Amino acid sequence: MKPTLLLFILICFGCSNNSDFSIKKGSVGKVNSETIIKELDSLFLNDSIVKRIGEGDYMFSGEDKYLIFDSDKNHLLTLIPKQQHDSNEKIETIQVIVMNLEQLKD
């Protein structure tokens, strides 16, 4: 991703007064470094969560991924826990997804 685009995205989200879209160290909107997987359903009541639990052998399975979509079916976030296959685990990685720049204008 180009650095200028990333900077633009951070400025747009960072300047918003809506805490649901704020990006700060250790947090993105409603999710922070202390959020555990089983809290996601209550945090994103009006959104859709797609749970992609690692496939394959238990020892060689891929990462668990939790994809967050808004009510318009726009992919907003991908969350990856620290430990796989554990609903009591904290979030390790938060990936912010912007499919097109039109989403930022709202």
Closest CA to 40 of 71, 77, 84: 77
- pLDDT of 53: 81
pTM over 0.75: no
pLDDT tens for 4-33 read 555 555 555 545 555 666 888 888 888 888
Q: Show Cβ contacts of residue 64 under 8 Å, excluding neighbours closer than 6 positions.
A: 37, 51, 52, 53, 54, 80, 81, 84, 85
CA dihedral 91, 93, 98, 103 (to 10 degrees): 30
User: Domain coordinates of the chain in residue numbers?
Assistant: 3-105
User: Is the separation of the CB atoms in 10 and 23 below 8 Å?
Assistant: yes
User: Is the separation of the CB atoms in 37 and 87 below 8 Å?
Assistant: yes
